[in-house]
Amino acid sequence: MNYTLQQLRIFKTIAETKSITKASEILHLTQPAVSIQLKKLQEQFDIPLTEVIGRQLYITEFGNEIAQVSERILNEIQTIRYRSRAYKGQLVGTLRISIVSTAKYVMPYFLSGFMREHQGVDLQMDVTNKAGVIGSLEENAVDFALVSVLPEQFDMDMVTLMKNKLFLVGSKAPVEKGRNVKKSDFEKLPFIFRENGSATRRAMVDFLQANGIRTGKRMQLTSNEAVKQAVIAGLGYSIMPIIGLKNELNMGSLQILPVKGLPISTTWNLIWLKSKKFSPIAEAYLEYVRAEKDAIIREKFQWYEGY
């Protein structure tokens, strides 16, 4: 037999997802490439690894056994890689981070330099909402989390990174140029909200309630990116963090609308449980953030400070 590690990795992913399409997305490969490697692996066995019933892909009993063996082989290869780097005095292992969805526009810039410097470190980053981040902390499943609203139920330490600013945005102004959007204007505007559990939604709702503002038609979407695309398409208006709107603001597909009391300003904080026992990787990353954060903000987020 002459199967490759790539074939085993692909088949393990197919077995986990029960889908060539999903496996190709996870592995960042084309569907034809995944199908070809599956076919080459199958050619080395007389017993089917998969079967298709209707349009659904199923893994055979034999295929499940091969998937389990593949996982063990790939884990051993990973162990060899870690041990090889450890003998060279390099950091090895996984850095685990949970972030709220809007933080995907922030966190990568505070990771890229560290990951380049430490080739033996893998990254596992869960992008979720505030409720998901809290769950990760409760389960001690992560080293760090990045949030703009601090959870109140934990005893935490933190490093403050940068401001998070939320403005009213739309694809076009609902009032004449130069005039603020007033309380009476909001009642005519279709408004797009994030889902329950989102810190962005909480900030928006708090602002509207504190100012006695009622909006027009309401819509709810489950990601910041979905809200952004809906606002660009003219479905409605929203109060959004502008950290993810740089290109849209520059191109004019979105504009900030002046409203008394906005922007809402919070702070991005890298947090961790005070009782957390850091691994060498987590300790090294915290040192990196403390040393480099000001330079990263100056280099990558200078545009943002002007708003």
| Overall residue count recorded for the chain in this entry | 307
Mean pLDDT of 43-72: 92
Q: What is the pLDDT of residues 14-29, one digit of tens each?
A: 999 999 998 988 888 8
Task: Give the CATH architecture of domain 93-161+267-306.
Answer: 3-Layer(aba) Sandwich (3.40)
Q: What is the pLDDT of residue 61?
A: 94
How many helices (H) and strands (E) the chain has is answered by 11, 11
User: What percent of the chain has pLDDT above 70?
Assistant: 97
What tokens were used for 59? 């893994």
Q: Cβ neighbours of residue 171 under 8 Å, at least 6 residues apart? A: 231, 232, 233, 234, 253, 254, 255
* CATH code linked to domain 163-266: 3.40.190.10
Q: What is the pLDDT of residues 80-110, one digit of tens each?
A: 776 666 556 667 788 999 999 889 999 999 9
What tokens were used for 26? 């996870």
Tell me, letter by letter, the H, E, C secondary structure of 166-178: EEEEECCCCCCCC
Helices 61-87 and 5-17 pack at an angle, to 10 degrees, of 130
Give dist(CA 236, CA 215) in Å, integer.
11
20, 105, 141, 146 from 25: Cα distances, Å: 9, 21, 25, 26
Q: What is the pLDDT of residue 82?
A: 64
Mean pLDDT of 143-168: 91
Q: Cβ neighbours of residue 176 under 8 Å, at least 6 residues apart? A: none
The residue whose two tokens read 């953030």 is 289
- Tell me the domain boundaries of the chain: 5-87, 93-161+267-306, 163-266
pTM above 0.85, yes or no: no
Same fold, 5-87 and 93-161+267-306: no
For residue 237, with 0-12 CB atoms within 10 Å meaning exposed, 13-18 middle and 19 or more buried, which class applies?
buried
Topology of the domain comprising 5-87? Arc Repressor Mutant, subunit A (1.10.10)
Between these two residues, 34 and 149, which has the higher pLDDT value? 34
* Residue 67, helix vs strand vs coil: helix
Q: What is the pLDDT of residue 150?
A: 85
Give dist(CA 61, CA 295) in Å, integer.
54
Mean pLDDT of 9-13: 93
H helix runs in the chain, sequence order: 5-17, 20-27, 31-42, 61-87, 112-117, 130-138, 183-186, 199-210, 224-232, 246-251, 280-300
